[in-house]
A and B are shown apart, each in its own frame.
Chain A
Amino acid sequence: MPRGLFAACLVAALLVAAPVVVTIVQAAQGGLSVAGTAIGSTSTLTLLLHSIEVAAAATPICAVIGVGAAWFVERTTLPAPRLWAVLLVAPLTIPPFVTSYAWANFGPSFQGFIGAAGIIAFSYYPIVFLLVAVSLRGLDPALEETGRSLGLNGRATFFRVVLPQLRPAIYGGTLLVVLDALVEFDAFVGLKFQTFSFDVYAQYQLGFSTSGAAALSFASIALCVILLFGEARLRGHANYTRVSQGARRLAARYALGRATVPVMVAMTAVVAISVGIPVGMLVRWFAESSQAGLSSAGGNLSYLLPATLTSVEIGIAAAVLGLLLALPIAVAAVRRRGPAVTVLERTMYLSFALPDLVGAIALAYLASHWLHFLYGSFALLVFAEAILFAPFAVVALRATFGQLEPSLEESARSLGAGPLASFWRVTLPLARPGLVAALVLVFTFTLGDLSTTQVLLPVNLYTLGTEFSTNSSTVAFAAAAPFAAVLIALAMVAAYLLMTRFGTVRALVTR
């Protein structure tokens, strides 16, 4: 591997791993007794089990919805596939804490395990959907045709030819969902259901014991590392780059026929649950506010514009930084496979191992002890968001880079372009849809983040998320609603961009 690329990967990985390292240092400083007390408390094991149960229940639902929806949208005669694609990705852009309050409003039965698992399943299936959809577009239709010619019917072709090729996308997508579910905090703020992250939060909040919270995070770090390397093994040598050569035909769409209506009903149900509930609840809050003629909502509106601007600034800055962190690793992971690259790439996902809160505290600790100029700064918040969501950028970039034929870069090299020049003149222009997708993903997640923002936001600033949170905690949802509405509107624009850009990847690369 070229030294420059390796150095860039190493720097990115070290930056992303910084909060984890600091957390370990913090835990060590607390000493064994604090750690023992924190881990040994009776509730810890129960709450950790809660988190694992939620992950176990939600992940299969995500996988089934994600793969099924991707198949119907990409490969069948479902009417208006583009519209469905946008609707199916939309939940990803709705801030988890908004969804959380919306579900909680349905009543006590939704504030427990069912609500928790449901929110995770219906907020995060789009990750699986996106990755599988892109993968499906990259499949060579000749393989399916060969399957059919060998006597397999449509169903058997799907399970024996198509599904195995989707494995990397499915593993990658469900891994992100599992990791997220294990340390999720924002999505449960409205519920009465307590998970592992709640325990960490309580440690931090009640005793103000950073060491205790850090010690607890060991459990999630260990789980995360096992999952990351487990997935790397499972994926093995699965190849993202297309091996066959020559012109590729467009894949045929299977006729849905009589199944059209049931499929559309099922997809409508998915969209209704994932998008309809939060958006519907938002509309209700608005209606209530106008009925009551609440003046508080009006008073709050002066905060709306500054909050929007701050949110967008943080989002854009984090997206750019996240992209820069993800680029070298994504290139190396596709073009220079090896044990060193695998370790570096997996390190990028370590930011998932920490509950957001712990990661944010670790960064604040780092700044207050060693990097004073960063303490309480806008830059530190942007950095925290960037490393938190950089893994999504890595995933999006990998998928795109994997579809570029290496011979294109080789041709550029033979024509006198150096490694950087050929990257700039050939790889980047061709990967532009993937770059946009990566930017949009990090931007959207940053908009929807709450816990990291609350810890690291400079004192004089406020965002759409923090304003929503402030107002919703006084149970004045009507006052909170405008902030959520702007958040969702911004995110929807991002989602639309995401789908239209991501969709052009293949069209550009293949004939």
Chain B
Amino acid sequence: MGDLVCRELRKAYGERVVLAGVDLTVAEGTLTAILGSSGSGKTTLLRIVIGFVAGDAGTVSIGGTLVTDSASVHVPPDKRLIGYVAQEGALFPHLTVAQNVGFGLPRAERKLGGRTADALDLVGLDRSYADRRPHELSGGEQRRVALARALAPRPALVLLDEPFSGLDAALRGETRAAVLDALAGAGATAVLVTHDQAEALSMGREVAVLRDGQLVQTAAPQTLYRTPADLELARFVGDAVVLPGEARAGTVACTFGTLGVRGEVVAGAVAVMIRPEQIRVVRSADGGGVPARVVGSSFYGPETVLHLELADGSGTAVSARTFDGADARAGEEVRLLVEGSVMTYPAAGTP
């Protein structure tokens, strides 16, 4: 029993509303990523769940036990059995790795080393680390020790607050994988708070997007990316090409011709949202397509993002993701095809 249920959580600091009624359910043994830009209230949400901050209204229960009810119940953080990995890890500088990991264990178990060693194994750290001091560890190792410390007392729930911030890209990927493995190995329910879209999409069984103190959408990563609830969200979770169009009976007519629509269809004038990787760049006119001119390109190694301008006179800016490594010069004339279905939103959202 380790599911997390938040109901109608509200919090304001004076006039500033930070959480405006948040409902969140995290199923037992799964990881939910809470994605939000800075100031969206995600850290406040985390701190209410763990009990560092008291909410103004709403309830939190863990594994069916009510731990926060604004009116009557406030279980102190040390009685909630929540594992917490703070930003930067927050390892105790006066203790060794083993003492850090064993901190939350009963006195008898701290010395034995059994559970401590297990926790280190869980996060993929060699046991030879046990006697080192936190300042002798790299950033990635510090995060792993922090996770081992959080997992050692076998918490019902683990909360991770931007656990990978400040790590370089290579270390990030490696540490992410180690954290996912460790969480899966422990079978823990987990909540990860992040402002990084790729991190949220790649790590969460579900992703909940927090904006202005409200959860705008909670869904599986694929669903969130493919069918975001509104245009702003579409732009937040990934790059988006947005064009005006006219929707009718499951299709939409726009510069790229008539395209299939997924999700809810709104008839009439709409904004059409296409992901850049759906746009294929062809150089011959044989296959049809819409003429466009290359304005510039950004090379990322495996992929190249082309910045284009439609040659239909509207001058609409479009970007496309290509993986063939083909060189594209500014000014080159190409043709664009759209693959797959697209999302439509009420036209008011058109820029």
Closest B residue to A246 using CB positions: B166
Of B81, B103, B146, B153, the contact of A412 (CB 8 Å cutoff) = B103
Contact of A302 with B by CB under 8 A: no
The answer to whether B77 touches A413, judged by C-beta atoms less than 8 angstroms apart, is yes
Complex Cα distance, B169 from A291, in Å, reads 79
Q: Does A414 lie at the interface of the complex (its beta carbon under 8 Å from any beta carbon of B)?
A: yes
**Interchain nearest-CB distance for B29 vs A (Å):** 20
Within 8 A of B (CB), among A303-352: none
Q: Is the CB of A511 within 8 A of B149?
A: no
A511 to B134, CA, bound (A): 8
Q: Is the CB of A246 within 8 A of B103?
A: no
Q: How far is the CB of B120 from chain A (nearest CB, A)?
A: 16
In the complex, which residue of chain A has the Cβ closest to the Cβ of B137? Answer: A511
Contact call A416/B90, Cβ cutoff below 8 A: no
Q: Does A459 contact B (CB under 8 A)?
A: no
Q: Kindly identify which residue among A407, A414, A421 contacts B83, using a CB–CB cutoff of 8 Å.
A: A414
Size of B's binding interface in residues, CB under 8 A:
30
Does A250 sit within 8 A of B, measured CB to CB? no
Residue of chain A at shortest CB distance from B84:
A414
Q: A246-B88, A430-B94 are in contact. Are A415 and B153 (CB under 8 A)?
A: yes
Instruction: Find out whether the CB atom of B86 lies under 8 angstroms from the CB atom of A407.
Output: yes
Complex Cα spacing A232 to B52, Å = 28
Contact with A along B135-146 (1 / 0, CB 8 A): 100010000001
Question: Contacts of B159 on A, CB cut-off 8 Å?
Answer: 414
Instruction: Given the known inter-chain contacts A414-B50, A415-B153, please indicate yes or no for A245 contacting B88, CB distance below 8 A.
Output: yes
Q: Is the C-beta of A31 less than 8 angstroms from some C-beta in chain B?
A: no
Tell me which of A415, A419, A509, A511 contacts B150 (CB under 8 A): A415
Do A411 and B78 have beta carbons less than 8 Å apart?
Answer: no
Report how far A58 CA is from B11 CA in the complex, Å. 50
- Interface of B, secondary structure class, is mixed
Q: Are A508 and B149 in contact, with the CB atoms below 8 A?
A: no
Instruction: Tell me if A417 counts as interface (CB < 8 A to partner B).
Output: yes
Select which of B52, B92, B139, B149 is within 8 A of A413 by beta carbon.
B52
Cβ B94 vs Cβ A410 within 8 A: no
A246-B88, A407-B88, A417-B104 known; A508+B94 contact, CB < 8 A: yes
B87 within 8 Å of A (CB atoms):
yes
The A interface, classified by DSSP as helix, strand, loop or mixed, is helix
Given A245-B87, A245-B88, A246-B88, residue A414 in contact with residue B82 (CB < 8 A): yes
Complex CA gap A408/B142 in Å reads: 14
Interface contact B153-A407, CB-CB below 8 Å:
no
Q: Is A405's beta carbon under 8 Å from chain B?
A: yes
Q: A422-B78, A425-B103, A429-B94 in contact; A414/B88 too (CB < 8 A)?
A: no
* Residue B76 interfacial (CB < 8 Å): yes
Cβ contacts A40-82/B at 8 Å (1 or 0 each): 0000000000000000000000000000000000000000000
Asked if A426 is at the interface of the complex by the 8 Å CB criterion, the answer is yes
Nearest-CB residue, chain B, relative to A412: B103
Question: Is A415 a contact partner of B87 (Cβ separation < 8 A)?
Answer: no
Q: How distant is the Cα of A341 from the Cα of B81 in the complex, in angstroms?
A: 31
CB distance from B145 to the nearest CB of A (A): 11
Residue B93 lies at the interface, judged by CB distance under 8 Å to chain A = yes
A418 at the interface (CB under 8 A from B): yes
A425 to chain B: closest residue by CB: B103
Cross-chain contact A410 with B84 (CB below 8 angstroms): yes
Contacts of A419 in B (CB 8 A): 76, 78
Bound-complex Cα distance A245 to B161 (A): 14
Query: Please, what's the 1-or-0 string for B217-250, where 1 marks a CB less than 8 Å from any CB in chain A?
Result: 0000000000000000000000000000000000
Q: How many Å lie between the Cα of A418 and that of B77 in the bound state?
A: 8
Smallest Cβ-Cβ distance to A422: which chain B residue: B78
Q: In the assembly, what is the distance between CA of A510 and CA of B90, in Å?
A: 11
Task: Report B-chain residues with C-beta under 8 Å of the C-beta of A410.
Answer: 50, 52, 77, 84, 86, 90
A408 in contact with B92 given A245-B87, A415-B150 (CB within 8 Å): yes
Residues of A contacting B50 with CB < 8 Å? 410, 414
Q: Which residues of A contact B87 (CB under 8 A)?
A: 245, 407
Scan residues 353-408 of chain A and give those whose CB is less than 8 A from a CB of chain B.
Answer: 405, 407-408
Across-interface contacts of A418 in B (CB, < 8 A): 76, 78
In the bound complex, residues from chain A placing their C-beta under 8 Å from that of B92 are 408, 411-412, 426, 430
Q: Which B78-115 residues sit within 8 Å CB-CB of chain A?
A: 78-84, 86-88, 90, 92-94, 103-104
A417: which of B78, B83, B146, B166 is its contact (CB, 8 Å)? B78
In the bound complex, what is the Cα–Cα distance between A419 and B50 (angstroms)? 15
A407 touches which of B51, B90, B94, B150 (Cβ 8 Å):
B90
A247 closest partner in B (C-beta): B139
Docked CA distance A358–B259 (Å) = 91
| Contact (Cβ within 8 A) B88 A415 | no
Q: What's the Cα separation between A425 and B90 when bound, in Å?
A: 15
The answer, among A417, A422, A425, A509, for a CB contact under 8 Å with B93, is A509
Contacts of A405 in B (CB 8 A): 90
Q: Return the CB mask of B44-87 against A: 1 if under 8 Å, else 0.
A: 00000011100000000000000000000000111111111011
Residues 127-169 of chain A, each 1 if its beta carbon lies under 8 Å from chain B, else 0: 0000000000000000000000000000000000000000000
Complex Cα distance, B35 from A37, in Å, reads 74
Q: In the complex, what distance in Å separates the CA atom of A416 from the CA atom of B52?
A: 13
Output the least CB separation between A2 and chain B (Å): 10
B287 to chain A, nearest CB (A): 51
What's the minimum C-beta distance from B273 to chain A, rounded to whole angstroms? 36
Asked if B86 and A415 sit within 8 Å, CB to CB, the answer is no
Complex contacts, A430 vs chain B, CB 8 Å: 92-94
CB distance from B79 to the nearest CB of A (A): 8
| 27 CB < 8 A contacts A-B | A245-B87, A245-B166, A247-B139, A405-B90, A407-B86, A407-B88, A410-B52, A410-B86, A411-B84, A411-B146, A414-B77, A414-B84, A414-B150, A415-B78, A415-B83, A415-B84, A415-B104, A415-B149, A415-B150, A416-B78, A416-B104, A417-B103, A418-B78, A419-B78, A508-B94, A510-B93, A511-B135
Further 8 A-B residue pairs, CB within 8 A, beyond A407-B87, A410-B90, A508-B93? A247-B139, A405-B90, A407-B86, A411-B149, A418-B78, A419-B78, A426-B92, A508-B94
Which residues of B are at the interface with A, using a C-beta cutoff of 8 A?
Answer: 50-52, 76-84, 86-88, 90, 92-94, 103-104, 134-135, 139, 146, 149-150, 153, 159, 166
The 8 nearest A-B residue pairs measured at CB? A415-B104, A414-B84, A511-B135, A407-B90, A413-B77, A407-B86, A411-B90, A429-B94
